[in-house]
Structure 1
């Protein structure tokens, strides 16, 4: 199954004014999702610069929604309370 993850930062200006502590957590967040990508779970992920609504986006492949919930809970940015992440099942995925 494929899922779209939508991560919301604590404020719209987050990408511009992160504290040193927040930057450290975001480095852990990127390392975490890079490892998921290396394992074939995260197909693509990254920040989206939508005006007035920046967010993170990922497309992942997982066995079920319970696995997605676990992956999100183990994300360092979510665990630290820095981001919230919602997910939605995808109806179809067309690969290149």
Structure 2
């Protein structure tokens, strides 16, 4: 297994407050996409982070050795529509409750 912290970087610092109608729709699809991966066991946890410099999203992935994290995150509807991008950070291990 491989483990990653993936950080979704929105296109602008005030993205959550200034989303267009299309961006709001894609963000809804983004949530459905992440929840589907959560249900499949590929994501351990995900959610938005708010800080003084603007918000971003974090997902913790646990994937098979033959899976490509960049290929997975490139299928996210928000990314496919050119709204932001992901940074991928390899983790040595991942422990979770439950």
Would the TM-score normalized by the shorter structure come out above 0.5? yes
1:20 corresponds to which residue?
21
Three-state SS of the structure 2 residue aligned to 1:29 is helix
Q: Is the 8 A contact 2:9 2:84 kept in 1?
A: yes
1:44 corresponds to which residue?
45
1:90 corresponds to which residue?
91
Give the count of matched residue pairs.
Answer: 96
Where has structure 1 moved over 4 Å in runs of 4 or more? Answer: none
Q: 1:51 and 1:7 mapped to 2: Cα distance?
A: 16
Q: How far does the alpha carbon of each residue in 1:32-64 deviate from its partner, in whole angstroms, 9 at most, with x for none?
A: 011000101111111100111321100011124
Residue 94 of structure 1: how far off its partner (Å): 2.2
Q: 1:2 and 1:23 mapped to 2: Cα distance?
A: 29
Q: 1:68 and 1:9 mapped to 2: Cα distance?
A: 18
Q: 1:69 to 1:56 in 2, by over 3 A?
A: same
Q: How far does the alpha carbon of each residue in 1:13-40 deviate from its partner, in whole angstroms, 9 at most, with x for none?
A: 1111111110001011110011000101
| TM-score normalised by the chain length of structure 1 | 0.92
